[in-house]
Amino acid sequence: MNNIIVGFDFSTGSANAVDLTIDIANRWHSDIRLVYVKNEDEDEEPIRAEIERRNDGVAHLLKGIKLEYVIRQGKVAEQLAEQAVEDQALMIVVGTHGMSGFETNWIGKNTYKTITLSPVPVLSVREDFNFKKSLERIVVPLDSTTETRQKVPFAARMAKTFGSEIHLLGLHTADTADVRNLVTGYVEQVEKFLAKNDIKYVTTYLEAHKNLTVSTLEYADSINADLIVIMTEQEKHFTSWLIGNYAQQMLHLSKHPILSIRPEQIGSQSR
């Protein structure tokens, strides 16, 4: 089906996620599947009535695409991932103050579970993000891991979709020449790829010996970034410096939307 999945639970965050999904889906000419995950004791009829009322309210925004919905029961992350498999979806979008079961002291708890289980990239957006702002600047951190470049094609697709400028962020996590040369080499390869595809880019190198997350977010804040694209496997030998791992900490701390991609999902980007 190649549609976009959006998690929904009537919260402001998930409603904003629907609006963002409509914008992306219109540009990709993709249909949307809204997924509500209910508890066992919830009455389904009022849920359907309210979802249909809300869908009718945004129908005028759809440009030749369909907005359909499904109500599922179970654990949120598992149900979103299963729906993505069934639909052969392109992406899952969630609002990080939405989704049933979110805990106020750990914003990204269910989002991270969704990322872990999802067969496709997951775009997570905080409900206080400025959704009216155009997607102008996309941050793409690059480290010394072999997987780090694998997020570039999807980031490039987003940049092409919105006419964005990609900010390549070369993260030097060690002083050794071998590690630094790997980062520089990967950055140069990505620069050539972006230039070949006529995508605007800016390159910056940062010393990030202690914490990749803090370095990435400080840079994103400094340029007023609109999206950060990450791999969920980053610099494993530096995890002792992180609270949890890189993806978890990014989800917990970032005020910017995060597009998370696992190495196993790379094949899905070509659909």
pLDDT tens readout for residues 143-165: 888 888 999 999 999 999 999 99
- Fold identical between 4-125 and 137-270? yes
| pLDDT value for 113 | 86
Burial class (CB in 10 A: 0-12, 13-18, 19+), 203: middle
In sequence order, what are the residues at sequence separation of 6 or more whose Cβ sits closer than 8 angstroms to the Cβ of residue 119?
81, 84, 85, 264, 265, 268
**Percent of the chain residues past pLDDT 70, beyond the cut:** 86
Task: Give tens-digit pLDDT for 93-116.
Answer: 998 764 444 344 333 467 888 888
What mean pLDDT, rounded, does the chain reach?
Answer: 86
Q: What predicted TM-score, i.e. pTM, was given to this entire model? A: 0.88
Average pLDDT over residues 223-247: 65
Q: Is the predicted pLDDT of residue 244 greater than 80, yes or no?
A: no
Q: Which three-class secondary structure state does DSSP give residue 212? A: helix
At the top level of CATH, the class of 137-270 is: alpha beta
Domain regions of the chain by residue span: 4-125, 137-270
Question: What type of residue sits at position 34?
Answer: L
Q: Is the predicted pLDDT of residue 180 greater than 60, yes or no?
A: yes
| pLDDT value for 87 | 95
What CATH number matches the domain at 4-125, 3.40.50.10470, 3.40.50.970, 3.40.50.620, 1.10.20.10?
A: 3.40.50.620
Q: Euclidean distance between the first and final Cα of the chain, in Å?
A: 10
| pLDDT value for 265 | 58
